[in-house]
Amino acid sequence: MPRPGKDLPGDFEDPINRSRRDLERVSTFLSSIVENIPAMIFVKNAESLRFELFNKAGEALLGIPREQLLGKADTDLFPPDQAAFFVEKDRRVLEDKQLVDIPLEPIDTAAGRRWLHTKKIPVVDREGVARYLLGISLDITERHEAEESLRRVQDELERRVALRTRELSLTVARLEREISDRERAESALQKSEDQLRHAQKMDAVGRLAGGVAHDFNNMLSVILGHTEMALARLDTDDEHELFDSLDTIRQAALRSAGLTQQLLAFSRQQVVSPRHLDLRGLVRDFDKMLKRVIGDDIKLVIVESAEACAVRVDPVQMEQVILNLAINARDAMPHGGHLTIETKLTQLSPEHVFAHPNAKLGPHVELCVRDEGTGMDAVTLGRIFEPFFTTKAEGRGTGLGLSTVYGIVHQAGGSLIVDSALNQGSTFRVFLPYAAGRDSWQPVGGAPARGGQERVLLVEDEPEVRRVCALTLQRLGYEVVVAEDEEHAVKLCATAERPLHAVVTDVVMPGTSGVALVQRLRVLQPGIRVLFMSGYTDRQIVDTSSLNELSAFLQKPFTPDSLGRQLRQLLDARRIET
């Protein structure tokens, strides 16, 4: 029998050997391709997910000999988190029997972390069962790092652009604010300069008015003094014509005194007697008087705050403010209308103070007087507080009403603003500092003057005023010692054989003041009582509430009766224990 492989004819043996050799050649060729592809190629068993094939590139990438890779699973080679990620992807490929493309996945190798672009492919048999998993991974670490670097550069560029854009936006906004602030500042500066010029003009006129009022008050004191003394000596039955003439002089002097008080109020040189009060009550109590003044064709509307409007003002002066504003409103509404007077609490803000330099920060009480009258144009509005300025017909006003309001409000530490336009009415807003408190003040009685026998030092630089005061006090029984200036008064007090009981002195004297004189006299005689008298303050005494039981103040011009009554009350007052 022929032996297998040897005895068969050549034509039968060659095809089998040739096929075997061809298969081996193809296998070697494919293995060579897989081995030399510059990408990691691996094959895993579908059931165990253990490596059954690894090419040279995979071995080089992982830095592990392939003998240590074959038969191993991912959990044997990689950190738990990476192994879990690989296994999850493998299961998904085998279950879905679909290629999975993983554009970027990290893998820890002997050379450090690398970044791969991996495709995982299921290998199925003829029955469609997945038997193996083929993986092809391309090392894209350099590309990934370049992209990351580019991304970081782009992010940094975008950050810088955003930062620069923000800086430019802030710069633009700051420039816009600066321009706006500068415009407001220039406007406020212009307004402040206008107000300063106005204030300086008002101050100059006020000083002139105060000086004139001082001189007038001295003359009126002389006129009133001699007239009162002359009237007291007349027999009204036998000399009634002379009595009537003298009384007419007295009444004219009193009316003139009212005019000087308005001048002093405007110039803020009037001595005030401020009291703590609720402005609501003062307005309420003044209601009937206001209705008589404004007439029946004007409806008065009073709006009260729900809260107490506590201020510290001279009530008589504040009534004058309300009355003058009401008269001004009445004259602006010849055909009638509504006059509204409102009291309320308000807080003056920095913006308000910036816009109105005379105002002060903090809580205030606002007195608002609003009319429906003819209103004012800008030119008139800029001059309304000037003394003797008026738009009324000749003989209908002195031009001192609003200037008096201006002076009283500012002397009280307040401020006021006016809003007005032609044919749209006017609103006067008076702001007074909020001041809660109580006073122990009691009103002075109006009993006739009583005399006495005490020794009184009279100090007055005006001869006529000194003479009428001395005559008045002597007729009341006092022993009067007369001095014409400070040095003379100090000398008389120092050399007096008997103590002086009181000093009656003018506040304003050439080269000194009554206050300075009293300080020197009280060194010589500490308990001496002092009656100050003046036609205006010259800032020496502006608030009678600062005086104590050893001191009192008498406003010029005064009558002999008021001088005697004030001195008697001072001498009768209880001595303060020191």
How does pLDDT run across 467-510, given as a tens digit for each residue?
A: 888 888 998 899 999 999 889 989 988 888 888 999 999 887 88
Per-residue pLDDT reduced to its tens digit, 10-59: 455 577 787 888 788 877 888 888 888 889 999 999 999 999 999 988 88
| End-to-end CA separation in angstroms for the chain | 162
- Looking at the structure, do residues 280 and 386 belong to the same domain, yes or no? yes
In this prediction, residue 573 carries a pLDDT of 73
Which secondary structure element, helix H or strand E, spans residue 187, and what is its range? Answer: helix 141-233
- Looking at the structure, do residues 412 and 427 belong to the same domain, yes or no? yes
Residue 144 in domain: no
Residue 151 in domain: no
Answer for the pair 280, 308: CB distance below 8 angstroms, yes or no: yes
CA-CA distance, 498 to 116, in Å (whole number)? 122
Residue 393 in domain: yes
Please identify, among 266, 298, 329, the residue that sits at the C-terminal boundary of a domain: 266
To 5 degrees, how large is the angle CA 535–CA 538–CA 543?
Answer: 80
The more confidently predicted of residues 297 and 254 is 297
Please identify, among 247, 266, 285, the residue that sits at the C-terminal boundary of a domain: 266
The more confidently predicted of residues 265 and 381 is 381
**pLDDT, the chain, mean:** 81
In this prediction, residue 110 carries a pLDDT of 83
Answer for the pair 556, 530: CB distance below 8 angstroms, yes or no: no
Helix locations, 114-140, DSSP H:
none
Total domains, the chain: 5
Residue 154 in domain: no
In this prediction, residue 1 carries a pLDDT of 47
Q: Which residue has the tokens 């006092």?
A: 478
Confidence of residue 271 (pLDDT cuts 50, 70, 90): low
Q: Which CATH number do you get for residue 61?
A: 3.30.450.20
Q: Is the pLDDT of residue 534 over 60?
A: yes
Please identify, among 200, 235, 266, the residue that sits at the C-terminal boundary of a domain: 266
Residue 479 in domain: yes
Q: Which CATH number do you get for residue 232?
A: 1.10.287
Nearest in space to 403 (alpha carbons), one of 231, 558, 202: 202
- Looking at the structure, do residues 311 and 292 belong to the same domain, yes or no? yes
Q: Which stretch of 54-63, 423-432, 521-530, 536-545 has the lowest confidence by average pLDDT? A: 536-545
Query: Contacts by 44-50 with C-beta closer than 8 Å and gap 24+?
Result: 44/90, 44/132, 44/133, 44/135, 45/131, 45/132, 46/94, 46/122, 46/123, 46/130, 46/131, 46/132, 46/133, 48/73, 49/73, 49/74, 49/87, 49/90, 49/133
What domain range is 21 assigned to? 1-31
- Looking at the structure, do residues 56 and 110 belong to the same domain, yes or no? yes
Per-residue pLDDT reduced to its tens digit, 147-196: 999 999 999 999 999 999 999 999 999 999 889 888 877 877 777 676 66
Q: Is the pLDDT of residue 264 over 90?
A: no
Query: Which DSSP category does 392 fall into?
Result: S
Confidence of residue 262 (pLDDT cuts 50, 70, 90): low
Residue 221 in domain: yes
Residues β-bridged to residue 340: 301, 370
Residue 471 in domain: yes
- Looking at the structure, do residues 562 and 467 belong to the same domain, yes or no? yes
- Looking at the structure, do residues 515 and 374 belong to the same domain, yes or no? no
Residue 443 in domain: no
- Looking at the structure, do residues 347 and 426 belong to the same domain, yes or no? yes
In the chain, the percentage of residues whose pLDDT exceeds 70 is 81
- Looking at the structure, do residues 24 and 43 belong to the same domain, yes or no? no
Q: Which CATH number do you get for residue 463?
A: 3.40.50.2300
In this prediction, residue 231 carries a pLDDT of 75
Question: Which two structure tokens, joined as six digits, stand for 280?
Answer: 């609501």
Q: Is the pLDDT of residue 443 over 80?
A: no
The more confidently predicted of residues 545 and 52 is 52
In this prediction, residue 295 carries a pLDDT of 84
- Looking at the structure, do residues 21 and 44 belong to the same domain, yes or no? no
- Looking at the structure, do residues 399 and 295 belong to the same domain, yes or no? yes
- Side chain identity at residue 247, one-letter code: D
- Looking at the structure, do residues 330 and 471 belong to the same domain, yes or no? no
In this prediction, residue 45 carries a pLDDT of 93
- Looking at the structure, do residues 287 and 389 belong to the same domain, yes or no? yes
Computed over its alpha carbons, how large is the radius of gyration of the chain?
Answer: 54
